Structure 1
Amino acid sequence: MSLRQFEYALAVAEAGSVTAAAELLHVAQPSVSQQIRGLERELGVELFARTPTGLVPTVVGRAFLREAEVVVSAARRARATARAGADQLVGELVVAVQMGFGTRQLPGALGALRRRFPRLEVTVFEEPSSAELERLGRRGVLDLALMAACEQTPDDAHHLGDEEFVVVLGAGHPRLAADRVELRELEGEPWVRFDRDSALDGVLLEVLRNNDLAPTTAARVSQTATAVRWAAHGLGVTLVPASAVPHGHEHLVRPVFPAVSQPVIAVLRHAAGPAETALLELLRKETWSEPVGPAQSWVAPPSTANSAPAV
């Protein structure tokens, strides 16, 4: 097996067909077909099922592709490290962020990183599920992750600061007259909530339970910006990290009492390279909130995994 075969198999899985994968890879279609057939022949299994809508990974294929992704990511990092000069870095840096975290701080840090290393390509994605973040970390596909502390947080994790949560109210809501909102004053309010398996919905549900509030659901959304905008239009109230409030909605936001916050943890992959180390130092220089007052500091429940994320 070769690295090229791994890359071709991943491209076919992403594109859904040999033709589309060839275009993605900028190679001839027969070359992709030959590599996939050779790989399946060597492994003695069928990696893709041929369907009317294209190629779909089989059960065995999905398991193989998970490992192939780890190998390809490691190879990319190895190439980047080998090519890195004293003042230059090339290659790809993969960053995952728990949804709503670092919205204000990450752009500044990444901008500074880009100015320092203009040939470095950065891929950033928000992940709503803390369990999925841990899974990605264990697979070795992340270079750096920003997440909340959990009971299995790695010993070498770096505490950057705390993320304060705020309530977003609709325009004209009577509680906007106050400087802060007591959570119990929101009894009976409908809530704009998040996906059921998301970390943010876990925070909200725990806060409501701790304050004897019924989780009346007006709607569920997948993005913090959507939750804020829907709350602003009176669909319900919502609770989000302060840094995730979009510009133009600050006047509809109030701190809550008891205060709610989460520690923001940066977790680097094992044997971190110069790119992620540089990003960590830039993130440290950004302004992060201090722990909030007598806060209800919500900590993620223990993962069902056997070990902490080895990001």
Structure 2
Amino acid sequence: MSLRQFEYALAVAEEGSVTAAAELLRVAQPSVSQQIRGLERELGVELFDRTPSGLVPTAVGRAFLREAEVAVSAARRARATARAGADEVAGELVVAVQLGFGTRQLPGALGALRRRFPRLEVTVFEEPSSAELDRLCRRGLLDLALMAACDESPEDAHHLGDEEFVVVLGEGHRRLAADRVELRALAGEPWVRFDRGSALDGVLLNVLRENVLQENEPAPATAARASQTATAVRWAAHGLGVTLVPASAVPHDHEHLARPVSPAVSQPVIAVLRQGAGPAETALLELLRQESWNGRP
């Protein structure tokens, strides 16, 4: 088995066909087919079911692909580390961010990182679940994760600061006249919430239960659920309902509709680095420390 075969199998799983995988990898289609058939022969199993809609990983294939992803990520890091030894940091840096956190701080830090290491390729994605972020970190699939602290946060996590939460109101909302909004004054308001099981929805629900909902009221009036903070802010701005988001997640053109709340709501923000972090991850952590975070100068 070779890393090339692993990469080909991962591409086929991602694209769902040999043709699309070949285009993604910029190689000839027969080469991909040959490598996949050779891999299956060597393993003695079928990694993919051939269906009318495309190639779908089998149960054994899914288990294999999880380990293949770990191996390919480790190989990329090894190449990057070797190049770093020659004062040439290159390769891929994989960063995951818990939805809504570090929205303003991360772009500036990543821009400075790319200027320092122009050959570095950075992949960033948002993940709503802190539990999934923790799992990905433990699997070695992330170089750096940016998230809110929780009971399961690793002991070696780096505290960057705190994200203050603000309420976003619709244009003309009567509470916009106040500099700070009392949470109990929002009783009866419909809310724009987030995907079930996401960390942001968990924060919002806990805040409402402690400060807004009546004793026997099971859940807030939910006007809509959004998968992105920017979407929730836009919907709130148009009067669909009110929402609660980290202050840094409010786009500049909607800041006039955001107000701090009383009692104040905030979450510590941490960065978690993979074991054996290289120079790129370490540099990004230091750049994030230099950004402005609530609760820190």
TM-score band by shorter chain is over 0.9
CA contact (8 A) 2:101 2:163 kept: yes
1:177-197 deviations in Å (ceiling 9; x for gaps) = 111001000000000000001
> Aligned equivalents of 2:101 and 2:260: distance in 1?
17
**Counterpart of 1:289?**
294
**233, 241, 262: which one pairs with 1:228?**
233
Q: What displacement does 1:25 show?
A: 1.2
Shift of 1:216: 1.0
CA–CA distance in 2 between the matches of 1:75 and 1:268? 17
Helix, strand or coil for the counterpart of 2:34? helix
1:147 and 2:152 aligned:
no
Q: CA deviation at 1:139?
A: 1.7
**Partner AA of 1:262 in structure 2:** Q
One of 247, 251, 263 as aligned partner of 2:268: 263
Deviation at 1:95, TM superposition (A): 0.3
Q: How many Å separate the matches in 2 of 1:31 and 1:80?
A: 27
Residues in 2 aligned to 1:255 and 1:146: alpha-carbon distance in whole angstroms: 23
Which residue of structure 2 lines up, in the alignment, with residue 104 of structure 1?
104
Matched, 1:41 2:41: yes
Q: 1:216 aligns with which of 213, 221, 236?
A: 221
Q: How does 1:1-311 map to 2 (within 5 A)?
A: 1-85=1-85, 87-213=87-213, 214-290=219-295
Aligned-residue offset at 1:156: 1.1
One-letter code aligned to 1:219: A
Q: 1:59 Cα shift?
A: 1.2
What is the rounded CA distance, in whole Å, between the counterparts of 2:259 and 2:292 in structure 1?
20
Aligned counterparts of 1:86 and 1:182: Cα–Cα separation in 2:
57
1:88 Cα deviation after fit? 2.7
What amino acid maps onto 1:153 in structure 2? S
How far apart, in 1, do the equivalents of 2:69 and 2:119 lie? 23
Deviation at 1:154, TM superposition (A): 1.2
Separation (CA, whole Å) in 1 of partners of 2:212 and 2:27: 61
What is the CA distance between 1:212 and its match in structure 2?
A: 4.2
Checking the alignment, whether the CA contact within 8 Å between 2:186 and 2:212 is kept in structure 1 is no
Shift of 1:86: 5.4
Matched residue type, 2:27 = V
Query: Counterparts of 1:82 and 1:189 in 2: how far apart (Å)?
Result: 56
Residue 303 of structure 1 is matched in structure 2 by: none
Paired AA for residue 156 in structure 2: D
Gaps of 5+ in 1: 292-311
Separation in structure 1 between the aligned mates of residue 209 and residue 122 of structure 2, nearest angstrom = 39
Normalising by structure 2, report the TM-score: 0.96
| Contact kept? 2:183, 2:212, Cα under 8 Å | no
CA drift of 1:113 comes to: 0.5
Distance, in Å, in 1 between the alignment partners of 2:151 and 2:192 is 28
SS of equivalent residue, structure 1 residue 84: helix
**What's the offset of the Cα at 1:240?**
0.2
- 3-state SS, counterpart of residue 248 of structure 1: helix
Q: Judging changes above 3 Å, is the alpha-carbon distance between structure 1 residues 281 and 86 closer, same or farther for their aligned structure 2 residues? A: farther
Amino acid corresponding to residue 274 of structure 1 in structure 2: P
Q: Distance in 1 between matches of 2:32 and 2:138?
A: 29
Q: Which amino acid in the other structure matches residue 221 of structure 1? A: A
Query: What secondary structure, in the 3-state scheme, does the structure 2 residue paired with 1:7 have?
Result: helix
Q: C-alpha separation between the residues in 1 aligned to 2:256 and 2:250?
A: 10
Which residue matches 2:216? Answer: none
Cα deviation 1:52-94 (Å, max 9, x = unaligned): 1110111111111111001000000100111125543100000
The one-letter code of the counterpart of 1:248 is: D
Q: TM-score, normalised by structure 1?
A: 0.92
Measure the CA separation in 2 of the matches of 1:73 and 1:27.
Answer: 21
SS at match of 1:249: helix
- For 2:154 and 2:35, the matched residues in 1 are separated by 39
1:168 Cα deviation (Å)?
0.2
42-51 or 230-239, which deviates more: 42-51
Aligned 8 A contact 2:147 2:271 in 1: yes
Separation in structure 2 between the aligned mates of residue 78 and residue 44 of structure 1, nearest angstrom: 29
Separation in 2 of the partners of 1:282 and 1:239?
Answer: 28
